[in-house]
Amino acid sequence: MKKRTRIPSAGPGSSADFQGGGVSQALKNRMQERIERFGEARVLVVGDFILDQFIWGKVERISPEAPVPVVHVQRESYMTGGSLNVANNIRTLGGTVYPCGVVGRDREGRMLVKVIRREGIETGGIVFDPKRPTSIKTRIIAQTQQLVRFDREKTDDISDADRKKIFQFIRHRLASVDVVIIEDYGKGVIGPQFLKEIIALAKKAGKPVLVDPKDKHFSYYRGVTVITPNRKEAVTMYENGTARRGASLDEVGRGLLKRLGAEAILITVGEDGMMLYERRGARTHIPTAAREVYDVSGAGDTVIAVLAMALAVGAKMLEAAMIANLAAGIVVGKLGTATVQVQELQEAVRQCALDVKTSR
């Protein structure tokens, strides 16, 4: 059996790693070593399963019925979405992933399982519910421009029977994984008591829990290891728990960190990159690595997937966040819910010249 890797405690990087306003070669070497070991990472992903449908076509005229474009459909494609996009990111980067969630016993559910198998992802954690429709997001794209998206879904809580099946799968797999990811898309899988039980089980097993949060569910996440909100989610979560409005990002980050009792908060801040707040007091701004933003769909999924994999193979929190930032910079340059290849990530590390600033 492969030796499990202990997740290091959060801590800032050495000042020598960022001398001269750039990233040192020593740090780049450590990041490359982590990426080369991604094949060792074993990750459990719990969350909402979604089928992503893309309808591709051309627009050559405006409808005479209404001021909207007429799309001449040329093809359709399907991809895994929601927590399954996180799973696909991990699989693409060579890791082993065990996703668990719920699909309906419907046409969309059959299609989603077919896509999961096509992508080479483990299917043992799928729970089929004949009373629940499969969540599907349909995007209509013409000349590479997304025109509209429409969602078909049920967001009520899943049944107790479904939760019991998921929990049994988690209990069965937990000993063989390094990290647990909670992907909360607000589609009914993640509930407060259920998440509390997962966190308690993971802590007992010594497994870190990373959460891609839903801002309305902030109270659920107390005791997790890391959360990865975007700026809007972070501000909303902070303000919902206080009477204060207009707080600075630093106040938000440190406030969330304290209230959750987490080891770290990694906030994505769009064109400004990321802000990492660690329990030991370090605050780090990691500038964006994106050269051109083409589509931000799924970027958050890539961030948490790569962060988890880096931690699973022994990276410090800051190293893991930097690798995740580089991965996000790659994926936003692609159309749709794309993934990152190992070679792309290694090249991004080689070319990395970010002005990372760490302070307390």
What does the pLDDT look like over 25-35, one tens digit per residue? 888 999 999 99
Residue 229 predicted with pLDDT over 80? yes
Within 10 A of 14 (CB to CB), how many other CB atoms are there?
14
Kindly tell me if the per-residue pLDDT of 202 is higher than 70. Answer: yes
Token code pair at residue 3: 């030796």
Closest by CA to 345, choosing from 360, 358, 328, is: 328
For 125-169, the pLDDT digits (tens) are 999 999 999 999 999 999 888 899 999 999 999 999 999 999 999
Residue 149 in domain: no
Tell me the pLDDT band of 15, cut-offs 50, 70 and 90.
very low
32, part of any domain: yes
Q: Which domain holds residue 284?
A: 15-51+81-141+154-359
pLDDT confidence band for 12 (50 / 70 / 90)? very low
Secondary structure class of 204 (helix, strand, coil): helix
Which of these is catalytic: 157, 272, 301, 355?
Answer: 301
Picking from 115, 156, 109, 157, the residue whose alpha carbon sits closest to that of residue 134 is 109
Cβ contact 85:60 at 8 Å: no
Confidence of residue 240 (pLDDT cuts 50, 70, 90): confident
- The answer to whether residue 65 sits within a structural domain is no
pLDDT over threshold 90, residue 346: yes
Specify if 137 maps to a domain: yes
Name the domain count of the chain.
Answer: 1
Do strands 42-47 and 96-104 pair parallel, antiparallel, or not at all (unpaired)? parallel
Tell whether 63 is covered by a domain. no
Q: CA-CA distance, 298 to 7, in Å (whole number)?
A: 26
Phi then psi dihedrals of residue 262, to 5 deg: -85, 165
Q: For residue range 43-79, list pLDDT tens digits in order.
A: 999 999 999 999 999 999 999 999 999 999 999 999 9
Q: Given its phi and psi angles, is residue 329 left (phi above 0), alpha (psi -120 to 50 degrees) or beta?
A: alpha
Tell me, what CATH number does 215's domain have?
3.40.1190.20
Q: What's the pLDDT at 219?
A: 85
- The question of whether 301 is a catalytic residue gets the answer yes
* Mean confidence (pLDDT) of the chain: 89
Note whether residue 133 is domain-resident: yes
Least confidently predicted of 1-5, 112-116, 188-192, 327-331: 1-5
In a domain? residue 9: no
Question: What is the percentage of the chain residues whose pLDDT exceeds 70?
Answer: 89
Tokens 């769909």 correspond to: 297
For residue 104, give the 3-state DSSP assignment: strand
CA angle 81, 84, 90 (to 5 degrees): 125
Report if residue 29 sits inside a domain.
Answer: yes
Residue 140 structure tokens: 């209509």
